[in-house]
Amino acid sequence: MAQVTAPKGTQDILPKDSGRWQRVEAIIRELCAQYGFKEIRTPVFEHTEVFVRGVGETTDVVTKEMYTFEDKGGRSVTLRPEGTAGIVRAFVENGLFNEALPAKLYYMIQCFRYEKPQKGRLREFHQFGIELFGAADPIADATVISMPYRLFKRVGLGGISLQINSIGCRECRARYREALIAYFEKDRERLCPTCQERLEKNPMRILDCKSEICRRVAEQAPLITDYLCPDCDAHFSAVKKYLDVMGIAYQVNPRIVRGLDYYNRTVFEFISDQIGAQGTVCGGGRYDGMTEQFGGGPQPGIGFAMGMERFMLVLEQAGVELPAERDCDLFLIPLGERAVQEAVRLTALLTESGSRVQYDLMARSVKAQMKYADRIGAACTAVLGDSELEEGAVVVKNMADGRQEKVALDALSSKWLEGFCK
Ligand code: ATP
Ligand code: MG
């Protein structure tokens, strides 16, 4: 039969790589715990409405990139293209606003977007992100921004710049919008067709366009930072002040507007210059009042999402090594049925006390078993034959340095192994 391949824009994470993913995920989970964030798991698919309300009708994500289909009951459902909308839905629906505030939530999920696949851009990809509900104070913004910063620092990653901006409140943006429309109107025909449409619906999005011409047209465009009301201006100054206190370097980039509709005030991106055009590893911002889109009371909210594939790419590019665990402490090689039984018994004991012990499952020769032990990276091997059984002792070999040591079978404990493997 012909082979079946994975859908375009998806990728398998194979056993040779999944350990690296797990190590990064473990570091992330520990960081979240340090900041007091707890994991939230929401459905992979939601009513399409959730994303239309939560991401925004005029966004690329909603207009072009969603995997939307009718289920057998005739409902329109969508595979989540991002994490925030579903979490805001869950926050309101489950009354999390009644629990201790601020609510500190994090997620590690798969997302789905119908995009043109390229390096760092997939149709199924992974995001780690956090959402903080209930805190309007600028100290919350700075604290949230400090999390990806700490993560990069913890894994020893340099070369990632933090860019921040404020896109103000509704009033600031109404005035800015006028100015932008007046500016782009002059060069209307030069803009790409999508941006010509954006000019009416959401002119700020033109600043986010990746087309070279639109970028050039936008070069002299008015800057949102010149249109901030006193409150938004003070908020932005305070965010910068707290970042300074934390010793976190940043650049103010008034062109960062972010792709999703729901942002207000603080927006930010962490950008790597190591992985080409898809350099934004992490993006986020404030989305006060989004809870109201889901029938809840008004709540301040702020969060970010990090593209895990891009993060893994940057780590690889930078040659960051994360200490790996040992896959196998001991590989037992029994000769004959009695020895096989003894190996099974020993393995059970050592597994109970925490060691990673394996033995052959394919009735292979000693030589083939040795080769296998080597391939799986076993720290030690031990051949168990009749004479070993009679003597009640076995020679354990350290595969890294060739050291051998005879140990009594009833003294072969996890603790002994730990000491010998070192
Ligand atoms: P871009 O401008 O690169 O399309 P975006 O603004 O659409 O990104 P967000 O919705 O903010 O991205 O998602 C947060 C992060 O998720 C991005 O910064 C990126 O690292 C990652 N990401 C977004 N889309 C994809 C994708 N199709 N494949 C892989 N990672 C992605
Ligand atoms: Mg995008």
What pLDDT is attached to residue 274? 82
Distance between CA atoms of 164 and 239, rounded to whole angstroms? Answer: 10
Is ligand 1 within 6 A of the CB of residue 305?
yes
Is ligand 1 within 6 A of the CB of residue 307?
yes
Least reliable range by pLDDT among 76-85, 172-181, 272-281, 390-399: 272-281
Residues 184-193: pLDDT tens digits?
999 899 999 9
Percent of the chain with pLDDT over 90: 87
Give the number of C-alpha atoms closer than 13 A to the C-alpha of residue 139, restricted to the C-beta side: 3
Residues 19-76: pLDDT tens digits?
999 999 999 999 999 999 999 999 999 999 999 999 988 888 999 999 999 999 999 9
Q: Which of 51, 124, 127, 280 to mutate to test the pocket of ligand 1 (most atoms within 8 A of CB)?
A: 280
Beta bridge partners of 284: 268, 304
Instruction: Indicate the pLDDT class of residue 259, thresholds 50, 70 and 90.
Output: low
What pLDDT is attached to residue 34? 98
How many angstroms separate the alpha carbon of residue 19 from the centre of ligand 1? Answer: 24
Q: CATH for 330-420, among 3.40.50.800, 3.40.50.1220, 3.40.50.2300, 3.60.130.10?
A: 3.40.50.800
Total-model pTM: 0.93
Is the per-residue pLDDT at 227 higher than 90? Answer: yes
3-state secondary structure 27-51: HHHHHHHHHCCEECCCCCEEEHHHH
Structure tokens at 412: 């072969």
Distance between CA atoms of 51 and 67, rounded to whole angstroms? Answer: 11
Distance between CA atoms of 12 and 9, rounded to whole angstroms? Answer: 10
Return the DSSP state at 134: S
Distance between CA atoms of 208 and 172, rounded to whole angstroms? Answer: 18
Distance between CA atoms of 101 and 134, rounded to whole angstroms? Answer: 6
What pLDDT is attached to residue 57? 87
Kindly report the protein residue whose alpha carbon is nearest to atom 3 of ligand 1.
Answer: 278
What pLDDT is attached to residue 163? 97
What pLDDT is attached to residue 201? 84
Contact 248, 162 (CB under 8 A): yes
The SS3 assignment for 189 reads: helix
Is ligand 1 within 6 A of the CB of residue 278?
yes
Distance between CA atoms of 221 and 166, rounded to whole angstroms? Answer: 16
CB-CB neighbours of 408 under 10 Å: 11
Is ligand 1 within 6 A of the CB of residue 78?
no
Measured CA to CA in angstroms, residue 404 lies from 51, 380, 399, 414 at distances of: 62, 9, 9, 17
Structure tokens at 299: 């709540």
Closest ligand to 51 CA? 1
What pLDDT is attached to residue 230? 97
How many angstroms separate the alpha carbon of residue 61 from the centre of ligand 1? Answer: 10
Residues 269-318: pLDDT tens digits?
999 988 877 899 999 999 998 999 999 999 999 999 999 999 999 999 99
Contact 78, 48 (CB under 8 A): yes
Torsions phi, psi for 66 (to 5 deg): -85, 140
- Spatial strand order in the sheet of 357-359: 357-359, 328-334, 378-384, 393-398, 404-408
Q: Where are the domains of the chain?
A: 15-169+229-317, 330-420
What pLDDT is attached to residue 405? 96
How many angstroms separate the alpha carbon of residue 61 from the centre of ligand 2? Answer: 7
pLDDT: is 21 or 202 the higher one? 21
Contact 144, 303 (CB under 8 A): yes
CATH superfamily of 15-169+229-317: Bira Bifunctional Protein; Domain 2 (3.30.930.10)
Return the DSSP state at 130: E
Preceding amide of 300 cis, omega within 30:
no
Per the document, the length of the chain is 422
What pLDDT is attached to residue 125? 98
Average pLDDT, the chain: 95
Is the per-residue pLDDT at 378 higher than 90? Answer: yes
Say if residue 179 is exposed, middle or buried (CB neighbours under 10 Å; 0-12, 13-18, 19+): middle
Span between the terminal Cα atoms of the chain, in Å: 49
What pLDDT is attached to residue 325? 87
How many angstroms separate the alpha carbon of residue 345 from the centre of ligand 2? Answer: 55
Contacts of residue 404, Cβ cutoff 8 Å, sequence gap at least 6: 395, 396, 397, 398
What pLDDT is attached to residue 79? 98
Question: If we measure between CA atoms, which residue out of 122, 130, 132 comes closest to residue 148?
Answer: 130
